[in-house]
C-alpha cells in the first residue's frame, strides 16, 4: 500500500505542499532570510527522499503536475500589472532601461564565467537565460540547443539566491523607492523574487511581475544571438 502511494502522483504533490507549508510556518516564526518557504521546502524534500531512499522518479510524477502551473502562475501576475498600469505608464522608460541593463548584465556575466571555465556551448546556452522565469528560460534553452534540465536548475538556484539576498541588499543600499526595489527583485530573481517583492509591498510585487515579462521578452530576442556568442 505504501509503495503504491509512493509511486502515485499524489506522493509528489503531497510532499511538495507539506514541505512548503512547513517552510511557511518556519519563516513566520523566524523571519530569517535563510528560512524562506522555498528554501525550507527544497531542503525538506531532498532530506525525505534521501533518508527514506525514495527514488526521485517517484517524486517527479507529482512534481511534474505542479510544474504545469508555472505558466498560469506567471500569467496571473498580469493582475498586479494591470492594477499598476498607471504607475507603469509613468515609469516605463526606467522600467525598460532597468530590465535591459539587468538582462545584459546577467547574460554577459554568464558568458565570461563560462569562457573562464571552458564550458561547452550547450551548457553555456543552458545557463544564459538563468535570470528569467522557468517556462521562458526552458523554451529559450531548448530552442537554442541548450540542456534544459541544467537551465531549470540554474533558474531555481538564481531564484533562491535572489530571494535570499535581495531584501538585505535593498536595506543595505537604502533603496526607498518601491518601483526600484520591485524591479531589482524581479530582474534578478524572476518568480521567486516576485514572491518576495509581494511580501514587501503591493507596488514592489507589481513591478517585479512587470520585470519578469519585460526581461523574458528581451531575453527571448537576444537569444537569437546565443549561437554566435558561444
Pairwise CA distance, residues 139 & 100, whole Å: 20
DSSP summary character for residue 84:
T
Pairwise CA distance, residues 177 & 98, whole Å: 14
pLDDT band at 118 (very low <50, low <70, confident <90, very high): very high
CA 182 to chain centroid: 14
> Can you read off the three cell numbers belonging to residue 4?
503504491
> Exposed e or buried b for every residue in 2-20, given b needs 16+ CB within 10 A?
eeeebeeeebbbebbeebb
154 burial (CB, 10 Å; 0-12 / 13-18 / 19+) is: buried
Is the distance from CB of 222 to CB of 128 less than 8 angstroms?
no
pLDDT at residue number 33 = 66
Pairwise CA distance, residues 195 & 156, whole Å: 14
List, in sequence order, every beta strand (DSSP E) within the chain: none
Pairwise CA distance, residues 38 & 43, whole Å: 9
The residue ranges of every structural domain in the chain are 2-68, 72-229
Cα Rg for the chain, rounded, in angstroms?
18
Q: What is the pLDDT of residues 123-160, one digit of tens each?
A: 999 999 998 888 888 888 988 989 988 998 898 888 88
Instruction: Give percent of the chain above pLDDT 90.
Output: 24
Pairwise CA distance, residues 22 & 109, whole Å: 35
Pairwise CA distance, residues 199 & 170, whole Å: 14
Pairwise CA distance, residues 228 & 49, whole Å: 41
50-59, 84-93, 146-155, 207-216: lowest mean pLDDT where?
A: 84-93
Q: What is the pLDDT of residues 81-116, one digit of tens each?
A: 677 778 778 888 988 999 999 999 999 999 999 999
With a cut of 70, say whether residue 187 has pLDDT above it: yes
Amino acid at each position: 500500500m505504501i509503495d503504491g502511494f509512493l509511486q502515485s502522483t499524489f506522493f509528489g504533490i503531497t510532499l511538495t505542499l507539506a514541505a512548503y507549508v512547513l517552510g511557511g510556518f518556519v519563516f513566520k516564526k523566524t523571519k530569517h532570510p535563510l528560512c524562506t518557504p522555498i528554501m525550507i521546502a527544497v531542503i525538506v524534500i531532498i532530506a525525505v527522499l534521501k533518508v527514506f531512499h525514495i527514488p526521485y522518479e517517484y517524486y517527479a510524477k507529482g512534481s511534474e503536475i505542479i510544474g504545469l502551473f508555472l505558466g498560469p502562475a506567471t500569467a496571473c501576475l498580469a493582475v498586479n500589472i494591470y492594477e499598476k498600469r498607471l504607475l507603469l505608464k509613468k515609469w516605463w522608460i526606467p522600467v525598460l532601461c532597468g530590465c535591459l541593463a539587468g538582462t545584459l548584465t546577467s547574460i554577459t556575466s554568464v558568458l565570461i564565467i563560462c569562457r573562464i571555465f571552458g564550458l561547452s556551448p550547450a551548457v553555456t546556452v543552458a545557463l544564459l537565460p538563468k535570470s528569467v522565469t522557468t517556462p521562458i528560460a526552458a523554451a529559450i534553452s531548448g530552442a537554442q540547443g541548450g540542456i534544459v534540465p541544467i537551465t531549470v536548475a540554474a533558474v531555481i538556484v538564481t531564484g533562491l539566491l535572489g530571494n535570499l539576498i535581495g531584501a538585505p541588499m535593498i536595506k543595505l543600499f537604502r533603496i526607498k523607492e518601491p518601483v526600484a526595489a520591485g524591479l531589482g527583485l524581479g530582474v534578478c530573481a524572476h518568480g521567486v523574487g516576485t514572491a518576495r517583492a509581494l511580501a514587501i509591498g503591493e507596488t514592489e510585487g507589481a513591478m517585479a511581475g512587470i520585470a519578469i515579462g519585460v526581461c523574458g521578452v528581451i531575453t527571448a530576442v537576444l537569444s537569437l544571438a546565443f549561437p554566435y556568442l558561444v
